[in-house]
Chain A
């Protein structure tokens, strides 16, 4: 996902790039996990929205020539609105049928991919960094952009956690995740809260896209690898558990980075190793590290 630079001690590299990759995966996985936990929708177009945000930033910054900060805000807003609209118009109608929901979200992802392919072509694109330069930390060179990414990820994760734990809407969202019917009986507007969750989830994906855009190469196929990774992350950590998503992201992000830096064939095998780790974990603990067994799925 991220382009790796060589030429400095391997251990430091693994630490820095691993942290950045884990942070981005965590942000994506938390969003994915949220909408899955609350509305039981496995949104396979999640990372397509992340890609769309990255491309929109590229478009506004490079083609239209807007300020980078303005482009980022515009992109995040547009993607969030698009995600919410597609949820209202498409996903809600088919969500009783599990398989159909999967296909509809895949179709949405493919449409985004093809639209980007038509609009920007298949060649690789790059987005300028928000802050340039690098600094030395414990003898390792760190790009300032990487520090910024990490900082924003941490702030966002803490904010999301605070929102879910402390605010009224957050408590409503968590109660829907626990028991939809009772939440409804308690006077919570379930459809509205689900839409709010979807907006939150897509918004997090869009911000993740904004954070990755300056560090990665943009291609219309960049959504598949993170999708596979976040699926592995949420299964590893346990579906519907935010703590699990975070820890799963750390494990797999570091595993992936270590493989890339250690082996010659690493770039090919990084997904294989990460997925193998996930398989081993669920073989030992089928509900993931911090999985919750849901009421209707017990048995």
Chain B
């Protein structure tokens, strides 16, 4: 009986002691619950579509943060992982007829390999050189995709037929995408919270010192590339199956830039920041467009989706990002966190800003 009671009270204790004490964590919990329960309120296909895409891009943005925000290896060609996974999943599904539950992990595996391909040569580069060199990879690939050798990649149009959908209905797809985002986001956050994350962080701050402490930074940097590729790859596979298409837009410069915009807007080196950035900016720009055109209907062929981003919403998007970053150069969530939370000087735990004493060690908070 006591054991059973323990199973009930422990999560409750965890909830009270670890989540409700900080407004940021409470907000994350509320957003997760809201997203999970959203189909109860509305099953409008267009809104669900926007939220599914937002959750896929949230995974993608968080994976960029895992690599670039934490280890400081700024990746300008993050679309490579997304595109490689999307194309791999699409081709495996179209030509071999494998189901999405097999092609998405295989696509992610391909993205991990892409991570190695990018990571190994780029290990010798640092800073701006690294950023500009990583930019090259997806653009080289996009040229190959356009050249359409043996009609594998279908050139400019992309692979747009013969791909299985993610699931039978929009709501079911929603319940694949949203939990994936929550679970993967949590895993990434846990990774950055672990010893590996600490080393990633240290590499960004001072790589020489980390090496002097006897840590093989090369291995950890490669690990960061692979982990980031893995999560970005899952997002890419989900994207290909959800839209039933994989086009060159998944590799293009715009997507690489967009992921950085989302992440920096949200606040880098936090994981939740980039996810918040996508969940705020992506639906916002989508719905602004609807207002603009005055219609609420399914849009045209999915292939042109990212190309369509170049409409009025892009202008609004850029202006908002510009204005927000001028006032909060560290990003939105970092700014909010600094306003609402204080770090205990003794035990380094986070506390609500309006507490006098630390919630654990009772030290004075200044």
The answer to whether A and B interact is yes
Q: How far is the CA of A81 from the CA of B58 in the complex (A)?
A: 38
B168 adjacent to chain A (CB < 8 Å): no
Instruction: From B135, B310, B322, B325, give the contact of A228 (CB < 8 A).
Output: B135
CB contacts under 8 Å to B, within A150-180, are none
* CB <8 Å contact, A110 and B330: no
A36-B128, A239-B129 are contacts. A279–B321 as well, Cβ < 8 Å? no
A94-B325, A103-B261 are contacts. A118–B143 as well, Cβ < 8 Å? no
B97 adjacent to chain A (CB < 8 Å): no
Chain A binding surface SS class: helix
* CB <8 Å contact, B136 and A275: yes
Q: How far is the CB of B4 from chain A (nearest CB, A)?
A: 49
A265-B147, A279-B121 are contacts. A100–B325 as well, Cβ < 8 Å? yes
* CB <8 Å contact, A90 and B318: no
Residues of chain A within 8 A (CB-CB) of B125 are 282, 286
Question: What mask results when residues 278 to 291 of chain A are scored 1 for a CB within 8 Å of chain B, else 0?
Answer: 11001100111000
Question: What mask results when residues 87 to 112 of chain A are scored 1 for a CB within 8 Å of chain B, else 0?
Answer: 00010011011111011101110110
Instruction: From B139, B265, B318, give the contact of A271 (CB < 8 A).
Output: B139
Residues of chain A within 8 A (CB-CB) of B147 are 265, 268-269
A215 adjacent to chain B (CB < 8 Å): no
A side interface size, CB within 8 A: 49
Q: How far is the CA of A287 from the CA of B129 in the complex (A)?
A: 8
* CB <8 Å contact, A231 and B132: yes
Q: How far is the CB of A86 from chain B (nearest CB, A)?
A: 10
Q: How far is the CB of B273 from chain A (nearest CB, A)?
A: 12
Residues of chain B within 8 A (CB-CB) of A234 are 132
Instruction: From A97, A106, A283, A299, give the contact of B260 (CB < 8 A).
Output: A106
- Number of A-B pairs whose CB atoms are under 8 Å? 129
Instruction: From B133, B257, B315, B318, give the contact of A118 (CB < 8 A).
Output: B315
Q: How far is the CB of A231 from chain B (nearest CB, A)?
A: 4
Q: How far is the CA of A268 from the CA of B146 in the complex (A)?
A: 6
B326 adjacent to chain A (CB < 8 Å): yes
Q: How far is the CA of A269 from the CA of B142 in the complex (A)?
A: 9
Q: How far is the CB of A44 from chain B (nearest CB, A)?
A: 8
Instruction: From A42, A111, A239, A287, give the contact of B315 (CB < 8 A).
Output: A111
Residues of chain B within 8 A (CB-CB) of A282 are 121, 125, 129, 133
Q: How far is the CA of A275 from the CA of B310 in the complex (A)?
A: 25
Report B's interface with A, CB cutoff 8 A. 68, 74, 121, 124-129, 131-133, 135-136, 139-144, 146-147, 207-208, 253, 257, 260-261, 264-265, 268, 310, 312, 314-315, 317-319, 321-322, 325-326, 329-330
Supply 24 A–B pairs (Cβ within 8 Å), ascending by A.
Answer: A90-B326, A94-B326, A98-B74, A100-B264, A102-B74, A102-B260, A103-B265, A106-B260, A107-B319, A107-B322, A110-B315, A111-B322, A234-B132, A235-B129, A239-B129, A271-B139, A275-B140, A278-B133, A279-B133, A282-B121, A282-B125, A287-B129, A297-B127, A299-B208
